[in-house]
Amino acid sequence: RYERHNAEVIEYFKDRPNDLLVLQLNQDNLWEQICPFLEKEIPHVEFPHVNKKQNKKLARAVKNIKKNFKSFSDISQ
């Protein structure tokens, strides 16, 4: 559902590219993408990343869960 929703949003804005900003939050140049879109000056501070380290731990945990889920589904078939 998540991926379908994203595709629907991108499709909706396809003829209005200046009205939608799609970000990859793991990139380093987020201010440089967000501020021009919002017509604001780029601040002289690092982009705030809340729980950046924790997000990496969560990503690893999700990856392990998916891996284990696949293993379990293989067993049950």
Answer yes or no: is pLDDT of 25 > 50. Answer: yes
Tokens 């293989």 belong to residue: 74
pTM of the model: 0.56
User: Which position has the higher pLDDT, 60 or 28?
Assistant: 28
pLDDT in the model for residue 76: 44
Q: 6 near 13, Cβ under 8 Å? A: no
Q: 69 near 61, Cβ under 8 Å? A: no
Residue percentage of the chain with pLDDT more than 90: 40
Answer yes or no: is pLDDT of 7 > 70. Answer: yes
DSSP 17-63: GGG-----TTSS-HHHHHHHHHT-PPPSSPPP-TTHHHHHHHHHHHH
Contacts of residue 64, Cβ cutoff 8 Å, sequence gap at least 6 = none
Answer yes or no: is pLDDT of 63 > 90. Answer: no
